[in-house]
Amino acid sequence: MKDLATLKAQLLSNPDTAREYDALEDEFTLAHEMTDKELQQRDASRDIGAELLQAVRDVKAGTVGKVNTTQSHSRPAINLSK
């Protein structure tokens, strides 16, 4: 099993992951600076359902996220006539 530092280094070696990680730096910094009470107050006013729905819409619209395609390796058709 990898330790956290090794896993983080491996994940951040991907340029796309590193870019997204860097883009969220301000949010991570803010979360570390907020007290538990401040976090509870902030989260109480959030509409998580609306945020998730918007995230799904963004992904479907192709405005965020990464699309991976794979080649299908289906079995060849077999003629099984009687």
| pLDDT per position as a tens digit, 6-51 | 988 998 999 998 898 888 888 777 667 778 888 888 889 899 999 9
73 or 48: which leads in pLDDT: 48
Tokens of 60: 């479907």
Taking the C-alpha atoms of residue 66 and residue 20, their distance in angstroms, rounded to an integer, is 11
Taking the C-alpha atoms of residue 37 and residue 44, their distance in angstroms, rounded to an integer, is 11
Task: Please tell me the pTM assigned to this model.
Answer: 0.36
CB neighbours of residue 59 within 10 Å: 13
- Asked if residue 82 has pLDDT above 60, the reply is no
H helix and E strand count, the chain: 5, 0
CA angle, corner 36, sides to 32 and 39, nearest 5?
Answer: 75
- Asked if residue 2 has pLDDT above 80, the reply is no
pLDDT at 13: 93
